[in-house]
Amino acid sequence: MAAPSPAAVQPRHRGAPGARGEGRGGSMLGLLAAGRAEGLLLVRDSVSCEGRTLLKSFVAASAHRGESVHVLGFDIPEEEFKAGFSTTVTSKLLHHDLFVDPLGWIGQGSGWTLEDFATSELVARLTAAAQGPSTVVLDSLSWLLLRLPFPLVCQVLAQLPRRAKIAGLKITQIVALLHEDLHSQGQLEALHALAHVVVKVLPTPEAVPGGDGAARVAVTLHKKRGGKVVQKKEYFTVLPNWDLKCLGEVPEDGRSGEEDAQAPATADPAAHLTFNLRLSEAERRAKEAVPLPYQFSEEKKSSLLQTSSSLGKIYYEPDAADDFDDEDPDDDLDV
């Protein structure tokens, strides 16, 4: 498949790249980075394309908006997660380390354990750390789903914003990284129903320019409050300072390599049959020449259009198989 031309991936909105995508027809990723969507936001990645880079760009965007960012780190150490962030971003980060000692066996780390992932315990710890608008980041949600009951994790995700609001902490967004290769299709569909926004990260052809970083494709599904569902497929890249740069929408015929591999070939339903479902040109003309049984003859049409009289008339239109014999009208009877 031919790769999209560079002109096809140029930004479609003016202004600085990253969080600026407001307005009709703007970048969906830009709206998310600007905090225009609340609730659970899933960043769905796979072995073919990692999504932590996009997750960290959302973290930087939340910090630049002035929000406190609570990071529950399971997959990687705190130092690795904070690498590359500016002092402005790190000053807003409240990292809760569950990577060093998630089960509390060695007594190190932040004091958090896997048992603390409950609604009441999370609300108590988050409100004690900071007040005001906050973003909660799970890196990653897959780590939890592999060690805790699936219904329990879903209940916590659904109840946490409401319970935190009662305690005085406004959680504007829960951003969770999800490794789709580790979960069944049923679990993925359940999480999609729970989330307000799902961003699936896909690789792009090498010919697509990414500017300062590698370009990727984000397929974003946004469920709005009114029930409307919006889906957009965009090129994006993340700059060295973790700023998100949107590169425009993917053309209608543009597909990533993963999508091409998963797209089924168009099947011919008439192939490999023992009978023919198609007509030749001669057969089609012969079929169109056959009069339909409900079509009237010209004589009957003209009589029906005449003014009715008191005398009734009977019209008989013989069939092609009728046998007329004036000498013996009953010759066709089997007697």
**Residue 197 sits in a domain of what CATH number?**
3.40.50.300
Say which amino acid occupies 25: G
Residue 124 half-sphere exposure toward CB, CA atoms < 13 A: 7
CA–CA distance, 150 with 187 (Å, rounded to integer): 8
Nearest to 134, CA basis, from 170, 82, 181? 170
Say which amino acid occupies 83: A
Q: Determine, yes or no, domain membership for 250.
A: yes
Q: Determine, yes or no, domain membership for 146.
A: yes
Percentage of residues in the chain having pLDDT higher than 70: 72
Q: Determine, yes or no, domain membership for 298.
A: no
Nearest to 200, CA basis, from 56, 51, 32, 25? 51
What pLDDT band is residue 309 in, cutting at 50, 70 and 90? low
Q: Determine, yes or no, domain membership for 281.
A: no
Q: Determine, yes or no, domain membership for 302.
A: no
Q: What pLDDT is stored for residue 14 in this prediction?
A: 35
Q: What pLDDT is stored for residue 162 in this prediction?
A: 93
> Could you tell me the pTM of the whole model?
0.66
Mean pLDDT of the chain: 80
Q: What pLDDT is stored for residue 326 in this prediction?
A: 60
What pLDDT band is residue 288 in, cutting at 50, 70 and 90? confident
Domain span including residue 166: 16-262
Q: Determine, yes or no, domain membership for 294.
A: no
Q: Determine, yes or no, domain membership for 2.
A: no
Residue with tokens 């809760």: 96
Q: Determine, yes or no, domain membership for 72.
A: yes
Q: State the total domains in the chain.
A: 1
